[in-house]
């Protein structure tokens, strides 16, 4: 029989218990190091979760509002002047195959005031617009209070207020009167916010016929809203300009309002990338804290290392112990960070009225990142501990 006695194997459970004992011996320092990792992971998880919650809210809003709304408005003439849509543009747009509903608004050269005591030049940024009766239905905007314009009241001096216009005028319920162009108009209702047409929020809407009769409106629309069937949006978009103004289709601007919401989400995604970078920096700082803790632990525990080596512990077993301590330290911090990040996401989403969403890949990726940081932070201290000779460690302890 050749060779000396073989060192006993250290089971994984024994390695874990030994590593936990080492962390408990320096609980305060371990907690602070784990806290650094937890903050970095919480930041990354919260950023991803908040971004995902915002995108989910956007998708739900787009599903509710639809991405099939198109608008046509006047562009510029060849001489750089403001063009005008033909009076028949809304009716012509409604004849396009695939269009399900059409509405229009037209700018009225008038100001609106709450009372005559307010100077005419004080407009509060509120526009007066003539509107067709089908506007709320086409925009999918509900009436907050009162009633919308319809075929019965559109001929008389009545007005419907956009959400922001009602707030600025201090009118919340129907029955009040506002002064438009030197004439009193009864408030018929107040609209809810129009997400796909924010210009409606800052407008006071009067019936098309009433605007022509009482306010000198010329009957030319400034915006035509066309709701198309989902599968017909590209075809309707191509045909809308030349149908709304057959003589000068190049002077018609066609857009899809939902594109603005999607662009806003893309901009928010770019900002999310910046915040993720900051979270990664925080995680790196936490990893440096773990490495620092482990290096100091090796220096403080040289006597323990020497004693274990004298009793037969191999370099591999010592290395495994300190590497496991580092992984446990980072793992505890990562677990706490993912829980904290998910809680922050849920709280922020509930405050904003968003559906709280934390992608599973974010939680798994965040925890995997902590283990990677822990392995990197503990590699050098573990190798340094394993290189210590028993006699030298006991002599310098």
**Residue whose pair of structure tokens reads 């006071």 in the numeric block:** 204
User: Tell me, what's the pLDDT at 235?
Assistant: 93
Q: What percentage of residues in the chain have a pLDDT greater than 90?
A: 39
Write the DSSP assignment of 329-358 as a string of letters.
HHHHHHHHHHHHHHHHHHHHHHHHTPPP--
Which conformational region is residue 124 in: left (phi greater than 0), alpha (psi within -120 to 50 degrees), or beta? left
User: Tell me, what's the pLDDT at 230?
Assistant: 83
32, pLDDT greater than 90: no
Residues in the chain: 397
Distance CA 41, CA 139 (A): 42
For 297-307, the pLDDT digits (tens) are 766 777 777 77
For 107-165, the pLDDT digits (tens) are 999 999 887 767 666 777 899 999 999 899 999 999 999 999 998 899 999 999 999 99
Confidence (pTM)? 0.63
Compute the average pLDDT of residues 285-303: 70
| Residue 122: how many other CB atoms lie within 10 Å | 9
295, pLDDT greater than 80: no
Distance CA 173, CA 168 (A): 13
Compute the average pLDDT of residues 238-266: 84
262, pLDDT greater than 50: yes
User: Tell me, what's the pLDDT at 4?
Assistant: 57
Which conformational region is residue 66 in: left (phi greater than 0), alpha (psi within -120 to 50 degrees), or beta? left
Instruction: Considering only residues 357 and 59, tell me which one the structure prediction assigns the higher pLDDT.
Output: 357
Distance CA 180, CA 190 (A): 16
User: Tell me, what's the pLDDT at 52?
Assistant: 81
User: Tell me, what's the pLDDT at 323?
Assistant: 84
Q: Is 83 helix (H, G, I), strand (E, B) or coil?
A: coil
């Amino acid at each position: 029989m050749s060779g000396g006695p073989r060192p006993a194997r250290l089971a994984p459970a024994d390695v874990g218990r030994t590593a936990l004992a080492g962390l408990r011996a320096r609980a305060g320092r371990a907690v602070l190091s784990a806290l650094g990792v937890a903050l970095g992971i919480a930041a990354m998880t919260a950023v991803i979760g908040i971004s995902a919650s915002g995108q989910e809210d956007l998708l739900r809003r787009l599903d509710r509002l639809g991405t099939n709304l198109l608008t046509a408005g006047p562009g510029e003439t060849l001489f750089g002047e403001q063009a005008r849509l033909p009076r028949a543009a809304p009716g012509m747009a409604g004849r396009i195959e695939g269009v399900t509903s059409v509405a229009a608004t037209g700018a009225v050269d008038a100001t609106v005031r709450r009372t005559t005591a307010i100077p005419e030049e004080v407009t509060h940024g509120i526009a007066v617009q003539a509107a067709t009766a089908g506007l709320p239905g086409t925009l999918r905007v509900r009436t907050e209070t009162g009633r919308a314009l319809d075929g019965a009241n559109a001929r008389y001096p009545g007005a419907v207020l956009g959400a922001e216009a009602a707030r600025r005028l201090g009118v919340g319920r129907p029955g009040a009167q506002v002064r438009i162009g030197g004439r009193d108009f009864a408030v018929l209702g107040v609209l809810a916010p129009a997400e796909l047409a924010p210009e409606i929020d800052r407008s006071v809407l009067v019936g098309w016929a009433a605007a022509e009769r009482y306010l000198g409106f010329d009957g030319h629309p400034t915006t035509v809203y066309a709701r198309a069937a989902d599968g017909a949006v590209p075809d309707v978009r191509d045909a809308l300009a030349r149908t709304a103004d057959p003589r000068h289709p190049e002077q018609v601007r066609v857009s899809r309002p939902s594109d603005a919401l999607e662009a806003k989400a893309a901009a928010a995604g770019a900002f999310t990338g910046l915040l993720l970078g900051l979270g990664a920096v925080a995680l790196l700082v936490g990893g440096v804290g773990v490495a620092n803790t482990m290096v100091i632990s090796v220096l403080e525990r040289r006597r323990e290392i020497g004693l274990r080596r004298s009793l037969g512990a191999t370099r591999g077993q010592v290395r495994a112990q300190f590497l496991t301590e580092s992984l446990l330290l980072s793992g505890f911090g990562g677990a706490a960070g993912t829980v904290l990040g998910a809680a922050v996401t849920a709280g922020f989403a509930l405050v904003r009225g968003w559906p709280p969403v934390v992608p599973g890949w974010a939680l798994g990726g965040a925890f995997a990142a902590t283990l990677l940081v822990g392995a990197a932070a503990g590699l050098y201290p573990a190798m340094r501990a394993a290189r210590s000779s028993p006699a030298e460690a006991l002599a310098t302890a």
